[in-house]
Structure 1
Amino acid sequence: MNPQLPLAMSLRPELTLESYVAGANAQLLQALRELATGQGLEQLFVSGPAGSGKSHLLMGTVSAAQGAGHSSAYLPFEELARLSPEMLDGLDQLDLLAFDDLHLVAGNAAWEEALFHLFNRAREKGRRLLFSASHGPSRLELELPDLASRLSWGGSYRIQPLDDAGREALLLEQARKRGLKMKPQAASWMVSHCSRDPRQLLALLNRLDHASLAARRQLTLAFVREQLG
């Protein structure tokens, strides 16, 4: 194993478990906190559509594990799928492995076999495993039945979408992290009149960030309506 490779999959420091707006996902969030600190289940599987926050949760879990002194790596298949499956060799030396977007290699025999063997080595050593995908293990159309079976061993959670209050909280939290002063009425208006898709809302917030900087204005309801209405 190239010892630098797991470290090269960089984390985004703002994506922590604390900054995740849980909504109806409080039980999942608690399970991830326990996984990161060596408590609770040894394996978790998180599923949800694109934009539901899977990467945020996996990065946050790895950050929490590292903060607790556990060696860990965030491993997104969006990047890994371009590499050889041999890069998994030796990763069982780490305390926690978090594999993001597993569906991207479903049906790839070489990757599935490499994951199967890594899974066995990691479990034999008591390592902790975290997976995310668009769907749960039974719906991934994996070619290797034994891998599908092992992915079902631990806890499995489906990310529940945010309600309107959660979407507003997400906007306010992201604005705060950007150093923006956003009025709650402005966040409420965006959810009601612009979009309920978290990714689109954050894209609009990025647009407002640039506009407020140029105009030297706070994100009041009047300013937001002027920019987006």
Structure 2
Amino acid sequence: MAGSVQPRQLALALPHAESLSRDDFLEGPANAAALSLVDSWPDWPNRIMLLAGPEGSGKSHLAAVWAGEAGARSTTAHALTAAAVPGALATGALVVEDLNPSGFDERALFHLMNLAREDQAFVLITARVPPAAFQVELRDLRSRLRAVPVVTLLPPDDRLFRALIVKFCADRQLSVDETVVSYLVTRIERSFAAARQAVELLDGEALRLGRPVTRALAAELLRDA
């Protein structure tokens, strides 16, 4: 029909699973210490260890690798309750994800740390910032947290940053060439989260427009970024 408007294609927000195997972990100077910690288990300096780093830096990936090796169960810090602690430690190893300054039960975490020490269990905690910066009311928990060794994941160097972009594209089955990667490297913030967000944006827009992911498309989307 003359003058009719073509319907705008909608991009469906389908889940994209990322591989969390040891072989798919991208190594670099930024995460070398954290990877070494996971690979050195059970010869840890302390039975409770903490991985700290920004969003998307690989903490959960490393925690998943370690959980597979150690037979660890996994929980989030905000979901941990005192009643659940014995069951969480039943296998002798536990991952506690996303410990943040205000989103956890202090008594539950204190109980967990005490029981892990009594049972000689291993615990791997992930957080965006070291717990030394937390405002913790329980004095004994505060001292325990400050005594936990922290291994920090640093911002990515150029080589790792480029590899991350390629991996995020591969996870979404996007075919991109070197021109796209090079453009993104020079146009987006050098962080894990920014790389992931840029690839998500490109994927969604390419699907909506029915176009391949090219440097031209990237330039259109990031021109005002």
Matched-pair contact (CA < 8 Å) for 2:77–2:98? yes
Q: Would the aligned equivalents of 2:98 and 2:127 in 1 still touch at CA under 8 Å?
A: yes
| 2:197 counterpart of 1:203 | yes
SS of 1:90 mapped into structure 2: helix
2:32 alignment partner in structure 1: 26
Tell me the amino acid that sits aligned with residue 169 of structure 1.
A
Matched residue, 1:40: 44
CA–CA distance in 1 between the matches of 2:108 and 2:71? 21
User: Cα–Cα, structure 1 residues 134 and 195, in superposed 2: closer, same or farther, change >3 Å?
Assistant: closer
Q: What is the CA-CA distance between 1:117 and the residue it aligns to?
A: 2.1
Q: 1:105 to 1:92 in 2, by over 3 A?
A: farther
1:220 to partner: Cα distance: 3.5
Which letter maps to 1:40? W
Closer/same/farther in 2, CA of residues 150 and 99 from structure 1, 3 Å limit: same
Which of 84, 88, 95 in structure 2 is aligned with 1:87?
Answer: 84
**Equivalent position to 1:57, from 55, 62, 81:** 62
Structure 1 residues 105, 60: closer, same or farther in 2, change over 3 A?
A: farther
The secondary structure found in structure 1 opposite 2:89 is helix
How far off is 1:216 after superposition? 4.9
Q: Residue type matched to 1:91 in 2?
A: A
CA distance in 1, matches of 2:27, 2:134: 25
Separation in 1, partners of 2:155, 2:18: 23
**C-alpha displacement of 1:59:** 3.0
Give the Cα separation in 1 of the matches to 2:216 and 2:61.
31
Compare relative contact order (CA 8 Å, sep 6+) and give the higher one, 1 or 2: 2
User: Residue 96 of structure 1 contacts residue 128 of structure 1 at CA under 8 Å; is this kept in 2?
Assistant: yes
Alpha carbons 2:55, 2:193 under 8 Å: kept:
no
Question: How many angstroms apart in 2 are the aligned matches of 1:71 and 1:104?
Answer: 28
- Worse-superposed segment, 160-169 or 18-27: 18-27
SS of residue matched to 1:201? helix
**Distance (Å, rounded) in 1 between the aligned partners of 2:143 and 2:22:** 28
Is the 1:47–1:133 Cα contact (8 Å) retained in structure 2? Answer: yes
Unaligned runs of 5+ in 1: 1-11
Which amino acid in 2 is paired with 1:98?
V
After TM superposition, the score normalised by the length of structure 1 is 0.75
Where structure 2 has 5 or more consecutive residues not aligned to the other structure, the ranges are: 1-16
Structure 1 residues 27 and 92, CA gap change in structure 2 (3 angstroms) = same
Residue aligning to 1:150: 144
The equivalent residue for 2:74 is 74
Q: Which has the larger radius of gyration?
A: 2
Root-mean-square deviation (CA), in Å? 2.7
1:51-200 mapped onto 2 (5 Å cutoff): 51-62=56-67, 64-65=68-69, 70-78=70-78, 80=79, 84-105=81-102, 111-200=105-194
Determine helix, strand or coil for the equivalent of 1:122.
helix
> Residues 12-40 of structure 1, C-alpha deviation per residue, up to 9 Å, x if partnerless?
662344433343221211212333xx343
What is the number of residues matched between the two proteins? Answer: 204
AA matched with 2:44? G
Name the TM-score, length of structure 2 as normaliser.
0.76
- Conserved 8 A contact 1:73-1:97: yes
CA distance 1:136–1:211, shift in 2 (3 Å): closer
